[in-house]
Structure 1
Amino acid sequence: MKLGLETESYHIHFQHGRMDIFDFIEKTVELGLDGVQINIIEDLNLNPEWGCLGSNDPDHLKKIKTLLDKHQLYCEIDMRGVEKEKMVQVIDVANVLGAKVIRTYINKGHFDPVKTQQAVDKILSIEPLLKKNDIHLAIENHEEEIADEVVELIEKVNSPYVGCLCDIGNGMMAWEDPKTTVDKLLPYAKTTHFKDHIVIKDGDQLRVSGCPIGYGNIDTDYCFKKIVEETDLTHINIEMCHPYVSYFKRPLGLGGVEYLGEGAFKIEEPYFDPAIIKPMETYHPSAENLEMMLKAQDEDVKKSVTYMKKLRDKYCS
């Protein structure tokens, strides 16, 4: 089983000019990993169209491809939305970089059933292009959806070129246990995001906080074992979401979890003061907190990689 790294694992470094895509690739090699997952969603601190990728300029892409080939790394692309014009551009980028999987997601901030339903026809309109280029589209459960809603969309599209990205932690924001998420999504999985979470209190509010993999309350052992034993996936992508905090996006009980206190939903003490790692502050920390957060992010990626390699040794010997 190969292990890759998603650029979101170093989001603070990217957004504050401490890392570009070439630095990230070299960091991935330094960590002893096998591939990269490049997030191209727009960000005000990055390229407004191509995010961590930097640009879709042909010469720029060729340089990235050369570096990927030099280190024999696999590559995947992470985008959002299913608008045909953008998807055509992303497929072109994927072809240059040798990426055979493109992740996307439908909802952002809240679940919109109308938008989700409209996505079916939009995906069907680009399915022939996916087939022509032998590229697979992976719909992510992106904090707003429970697994059943993602599965319903995939089954409506009904194409071997369209499946899901199984993010083992995102279902928590919809009150779904990670083991339920994994059990339901893995039969449709084209790729993964592997992470860890804890639940914390922020004043009177409850939040889901990222943390180093192996240091939270997701049953990562169960999730890794299921991926290895019950899928044909050849690699798992580390997405170390810390420093990061998210909100619960759906009503309590929707995903099957109706109370806190056990398993992944056990309430823990936060790693950082919640005041400095709320969603906006996470992406735009104050000058006094920036260096601390940059250092913590790098250290937590290293902890996560060490833990993931131990899981690989345990289940992939």
Structure 2
Amino acid sequence: MKIGLETESYHLLFQNGRMDIFGFIKKTAELGMDGVMINIIKDKNLDPNWGTLGSAEPKHLEQVRDEIRKYGLFAEIDTRTTDPEHLTKIIEVAHKIGADVIRTYCCIGGYNKEALEKAPEEIKKIVPLLTKYRIKLAVENHEEEIADEVIDIIKKVNSPWVGAHCDIGNSMMAWEEPIDAVRKLAPYAFTTHFKDHIIIKDEDKYMVCGVPAGTGNINTEECFKILVQESKLTRINIEMCYPYVAPFKREPGTGGVKKVGEGAFKVEELPFEYNVIKPKDYYYPEGDLLEMMIEAQEKGVEQSVKYVLALRDKYCR
């Protein structure tokens, strides 16, 4: 099993000019990883069209491809929406840098039933291009979507080039037990986001909070075991979402879980002192807090990598 790293794992460094795509590729190799997953979604201080990739200029893409090859890494791309015009551009860029899997998701800015309903017909329009370049499209359970909704889209498209992106933590925002979501998505999975979460209470509101892999309340070892034994995956990608918080996106019970308190949904203490930094500021810290959170993120990546490599040693060798 190859282990990759998603650029989101270093989102603070990217957003604050401390890392670019070339630095990320090199760092991934230094950590002993096998591949990179490049998030091209717009974010603070990043290219509005190409995110952490930085540009789609031919020379830049050639340099990115060469850097990936230099370290012998695989490459994947993370994007969003099922708009055929957008996905066509992404597929072309993926081909140019040697990426063979593209992650996308349907709902943006909240649950959108219409987006889920139109997704199959939109995706069908780009299947010929996926086939031409031998690139797979993976539909993610991205906070709003439960596993059954993703599987429904895959079945309606009915193409060997369209499958699932299994995020082992995102199901929680839709009130779905992570192990249940992973077990459902595993047979369809083309790629993954491997992460860990806890539940915290911010004043009177419960939130899903990212933590380094192996330190939270998701049964990450069981999730890893399921992905190894019940899928055809040859790669698992770490997405270290820390520091990070997200609200619940669906109504309680949507994914089968009705309230917080047990298992993956156990409520824990805040990872940082509330009088130092509030959860709403975790993702975009400023001033002196930025340095503190960058240090936490870098340590979290190292911790997550060590943990996942140990799981690989246990279940894949």
What is the TM-score normalised by the length of structure 2? 0.97
| Alpha-carbon distance in structure 1 between the residues aligned to 2:256 and 2:133 | 39
| Alpha-carbon distance in structure 2 between the residues aligned to 1:23 and 1:274 | 33
Q: Tell me if structure 2 keeps the 8 A contact 1:246–1:278.
A: no
Matched, 1:210 2:210: yes
RMSD between superposed Cα atoms in Å: 1.2
1:159-238 alignment, distance < 5 Å: 159-238=159-238
Q: Tell me if structure 2 keeps the 8 A contact 1:147–1:181.
A: yes
Question: Post-superposition shift, 1:260?
Answer: 2.2
Q: State the identity %.
A: 57
| Alpha-carbon distance in structure 1 between the residues aligned to 2:107 and 2:279 | 20
| Alpha-carbon distance in structure 2 between the residues aligned to 1:102 and 1:273 | 38
Q: Tell me if structure 2 keeps the 8 A contact 1:109–1:249.
A: no
Q: What is the aligned partner in structure 1 of residue 291 from structure 2?
A: 291
Question: Post-superposition shift, 1:132?
Answer: 1.4
- Could you say if the C-alpha distance between residues 180 and 274 of structure 1 is closer, same or farther in structure 2, counting changes exceeding 3 Å? farther
Q: What is the aligned partner in structure 2 of residue 8 from structure 1?
A: 8
What is the identity, as a one-letter code, of the residue corresponding to 2:8? E
Q: Tell me if structure 1 keeps the 8 A contact 2:6–2:37.
A: yes
Question: Post-superposition shift, 1:270?
Answer: 1.4
| Alpha-carbon distance in structure 2 between the residues aligned to 1:274 and 1:149 | 36
- Secondary structure at the counterpart of residue 67 of structure 1: helix
1:241-260 alignment, distance < 5 Å: 241-260=241-260
Question: Post-superposition shift, 1:167?
Answer: 0.2
What is the identity, as a one-letter code, of the residue corresponding to 2:54? G
Q: What is the aligned partner in structure 2 of residue 26 from structure 1?
A: 26
Q: Tell me if structure 1 keeps the 8 A contact 2:141–2:171.
A: yes
C-alpha distance after superposition, 1:221-242 (max 9, x if no partner):
1110111111121110000000
Aligned residues: 316
Matched, 1:307 2:310: no
Question: Post-superposition shift, 1:282?
Answer: 3.4
1:272-283 alignment, distance < 5 Å: 272-273=272-273, 276=277, 278=279, 281-283=281-283
Which has the larger displacement, 42-51 or 174-183? 42-51
Q: What is the aligned partner in structure 1 of residue 144 from structure 2?
A: 144
- Secondary structure at the counterpart of residue 271 of structure 2: coil
| Alpha-carbon distance in structure 2 between the residues aligned to 1:135 and 1:289 | 41
| Alpha-carbon distance in structure 2 between the residues aligned to 1:44 and 1:300 | 21
Which has the larger displacement, 18-27 or 36-45? 36-45
What is the identity, as a one-letter code, of the residue corresponding to 2:301? V
C-alpha distance after superposition, 1:64-97 (max 9, x if no partner):
1111111100000000112222212111111111
- Could you say if the C-alpha distance between residues 78 and 106 of structure 1 is closer, same or farther in structure 2, counting changes exceeding 3 Å? same
Which has the larger displacement, 172-181 or 228-237? 228-237
What is the identity, as a one-letter code, of the residue corresponding to 1:62? E
Q: Tell me if structure 1 keeps the 8 A contact 2:81–2:108.
A: no
Matched, 1:64 2:64: yes
Q: Tell me if structure 2 keeps the 8 A contact 1:47–1:54.
A: yes
Q: Tell me if structure 2 keeps the 8 A contact 1:212–1:300.
A: yes
Q: What is the aligned partner in structure 2 of residue 74 from structure 1?
A: 74
Q: What is the aligned partner in structure 1 of residue 103 from structure 2?
A: 103
| Alpha-carbon distance in structure 2 between the residues aligned to 1:259 and 1:110 | 20
| Alpha-carbon distance in structure 1 between the residues aligned to 2:274 and 2:144 | 22
| Alpha-carbon distance in structure 2 between the residues aligned to 1:201 and 1:118 | 36
| Alpha-carbon distance in structure 1 between the residues aligned to 2:21 and 2:231 | 30
What is the identity, as a one-letter code, of the residue corresponding to 1:112? N
Question: Post-superposition shift, 1:283?
Answer: 3.7
1:89-128 alignment, distance < 5 Å: 89-128=89-128
- Secondary structure at the counterpart of residue 173 of structure 2: helix
| Alpha-carbon distance in structure 1 between the residues aligned to 2:254 and 2:92 | 38
- Secondary structure at the counterpart of residue 138 of structure 1: strand
Q: What is the aligned partner in structure 1 of residue 131 from structure 2?
A: 131
What is the TM-score normalised by the length of structure 1? 0.97
Q: Tell me if structure 1 keeps the 8 A contact 2:243–2:283.
A: no
| Alpha-carbon distance in structure 2 between the residues aligned to 1:14 and 1:61 | 18
Question: Post-superposition shift, 1:267?
Answer: 0.6
C-alpha distance after superposition, 1:18-45 (max 9, x if no partner):
1000010111011110000000011241
C-alpha distance after superposition, 1:177-215 (max 9, x if no partner):
000110111111110000000001101110000000000
Q: Hey, which bits of structure 1, 4+ residues long, moved more than 3 A? A: 273-279
- Secondary structure at the counterpart of residue 198 of structure 1: strand
| Alpha-carbon distance in structure 2 between the residues aligned to 1:130 and 1:210 | 33
